Amino acid sequence: MDNAYIITIGDELLNGNTLDSNSTWLSKKLSFFGIKVIEKISIPDDINIIENCINNVLEKNCEFLFITGGLGPTHDDITKAAIKNVTNSKLEFDQDYYTELKLKFKDKGIKFLENNKSQAMVLSNCVKIENPIGSALGINFDMKGSKVFVFPGVPKEMQVMFEKKILPKYFNDNNKIVNNVTLLTAGLHESYIYNEIEKLILNFSNYVKVAFLPKYTGVNIRLSLLNNNINTEKMFDLENKIRTKLGNKIYGSDNETLEEKLGELLIENNLNIAIAESCTGGLLSKLITDVPGSSRYYYGSTIAYKNDIKIKHLNVAEESINKFGAVSSEVVEEMAIGVREKFKSDIGFSISGISGPEGGSKEKPVGLVCMALSTNEKTISKRFNFLPDRKMHRQISSNVAMNMIRIYILKNYD
C-alpha cells in the first residue's frame, strides 16, 4: 500500500484564521486509490521551517508528498523560494506563461499588475502544473523516491489542478479500490450502536477495523480492511450484517448526504415538499436545495421569523400563538398545513424552536424545538430538546427534520 504525507503551509493555518480543508479533501481522494496518508503537518510561512519540514519528510521514503499553500502573488507567498532551495533550482522566466497569464486577467476583467509577473517565474529542476482556473502554477518534482506535488492554497484551484492534471497521469481509475465503507446513521447514540454491533465487530476483528464518528447528522460507522485488497468480501459481509441490525437508522453510506437520500426518496415516491421555517431561518431549505436537481421535488418555503407572517401568510390562528406560544405542537401543525395548502405541495413540513441565546423561559428553555409534517391524510408533530447553542441547535434541528421526513416516507409510502 502506497503512503503519502501532506504538508499544508500558511500562518493562517496556525493562528486559527483558516480551517485546513485542503488536506482533508486530498486525503479522501487518495483513499479511493488505496493511498494511505500517514501524517499531516501544518507549518507557518517561514522559509527555513518549510525547507526543513520538506527535507525531513523526504527522509521517510514515502511514495507521495503533497504540499499546499504559499504560491500566490503577494510577498507572504514563499513556498516557491523554499522549493527552489530544496531542489537546488534556478528561477527562470516563462515567456509563454507570462503571455497566458495576461490573457487570464483580461478574460476575468481584472487589471494585470506587475506583482503578478512573479507568477511566471518557474523552477529549473521542476515541472510546472497548470492551473485551469487561477493564476498560480503548481510545482512537481521527484526526490529520494518520493513524487512531490505543490499546489496553491486556494481550495478550488488545488482541487481542479489535482483532478485535471494529476489524477489522469498518476492515478488510474482502474486502480480504484474499495478498502473501506462508511455507514451513516441518524437518531442513535454512539454507545447504543456500539452495544448493538459489538459482537459483530469482534467476530470480524481479524479482517475489518471499525471506527465510530459522531456527527451533527448522527454517528458514522467506518469499516476498513486491515489488509488492503484482500478479504473485501469479509468487509461487505460485515456491512450487510450491520445494515440488517440497524435497519432504517442507516440512511446512506460514504459520501451520501441525508439531503440527497431524502431527495431520492421524494423522487422515488413522486412526492414534493414545501417548508415553513422559524428558528432555523432558512437552513433546512438551504440543505434541501444543496442537492442539484432539487427543484424536481422542492417547491419553496416561507420563513416566518415574525409571528405576524405566521398568521397572515401561513394561516396560523392568532389565538393558537397566544394560547400555546409560537413554539408549540399546535402552532407547528398549523404552519405545516398552512404551507402545504398555500404552495399546493404533497408534504408540508414546519419547524419552530428557541435556538437562543435569548428567548427562553422556564417552561420553554433555549433548546426546545417543535416540528410537524402534514399531508392531506394526516398531520403529525414532534417535540425535542437539543443543545442550547444557537449554531448547533439550528444544525441538529435541520438534520433531525430531514430524518423525520425520511422515516415518515419510508413508513407511509415506500
**Looking only at residues 320 through 379 of this chain, which bind a copy of itself when binding is defined by CB under 8 A?**
342-343, 356-358
Q: How far is the CB of 288 from a copy of itself (least distance, A)?
A: 7
Neighbours of 133 (CB within 10 A): 13
Nearest to 277 by CA among 247, 256, 298, 253: 298
Determine the distance from the C-alpha atom of residue 311 to the mean position of all C-alpha atoms in its chain, rounded to a whole number.
37
* Binding-site member from 61, 124, 175, 195 for a copy of itself (CB under 8 A): 195
Q: Nearer to a copy of itself by C-beta: 110 or 127?
A: 110
Question: What does the block give as the cell for 163?
Answer: 483532478
Q: Does 181 bind a copy of itself (CB under 8 A)?
A: no
* Binding-site member from 146, 285, 320, 350 for a copy of itself (CB under 8 A): 285
Rg of the chain, C-alpha, whole Å: 26
Q: Does 209 bind a copy of itself (CB under 8 A)?
A: yes
Q: How far is the CB of 349 from a copy of itself (least distance, A)?
A: 13
* Binding-site member from 99, 191, 322, 361 for a copy of itself (CB under 8 A): 191
Question: What does the block give as the cell for 24?
Answer: 482533508
Site for a copy of itself in 244-263 (CB under 8 A): none
Q: Does 43 bind a copy of itself (CB under 8 A)?
A: yes
Q: Does 220 bind a copy of itself (CB under 8 A)?
A: yes
Q: Where are the alpha helices (DSSP H) in 109-161?
A: 155-161
Q: Nearer to a copy of itself by C-beta: 145 or 214?
A: 214
Contact 326, 365 (CB under 8 A): no
Instruction: Report the alpha-carbon distance of residue 38 to residue 23 in Å, rounded.
Output: 12
Instruction: Report the alpha-carbon distance of residue 340 to residue 229 in Å, rounded.
Output: 51
Q: Does 45 bind a copy of itself (CB under 8 A)?
A: yes
Q: Does 270 bind a copy of itself (CB under 8 A)?
A: no
Q: Nearer to a copy of itself by C-beta: 126 or 314?
A: 314
Strand blocks (E) in 101-145: 121-123, 127-129, 138-143
Cell 511566471 belongs to 120
* Binding-site member from 20, 260, 333, 334 for a copy of itself (CB under 8 A): 20
Q: How far is the CB of 358 from a copy of itself (least distance, A)?
A: 7
Q: How far is the CB of 329 from a copy of itself (least distance, A)?
A: 20
Q: Does 61 bind a copy of itself (CB under 8 A)?
A: no
* Binding-site member from 103, 178, 211, 230 for a copy of itself (CB under 8 A): 211
Total residues contacting a copy of itself (rule CB under 8 A)? 101
Question: What does the block give as the cell for 194?
Answer: 456500539
| Virtual torsion, Cα 188, 189, 193, 195, nearest 10 deg | -140
DSSP 358: S
Q: Where are the alpha helices (DSSP H) in 88-225?
A: 95-108, 155-161, 167-170, 190-203
Q: Nearer to a copy of itself by C-beta: 245 or 286?
A: 286
Q: Does 93 bind a copy of itself (CB under 8 A)?
A: no
Q: Does 317 bind a copy of itself (CB under 8 A)?
A: no
Diameter over CA atoms, the chain: 79
* Span of 108-116, 120-128, 244-252, 330-338 interacting with a copy of itself by CB under 8 A: 108-116
Instruction: Report the alpha-carbon distance of residue 269 to residue 409 in Å, rounded.
Output: 8
Q: Does 73 bind a copy of itself (CB under 8 A)?
A: yes
Question: What does the block give as the cell for 87?
Answer: 531542489
Instruction: Report the alpha-carbon distance of residue 98 to residue 364 in Å, rounded.
Output: 64
* Binding-site member from 101, 154, 265, 336 for a copy of itself (CB under 8 A): 154
* Span of 28-36, 78-86, 242-250, 367-375 interacting with a copy of itself by CB under 8 A: 28-36
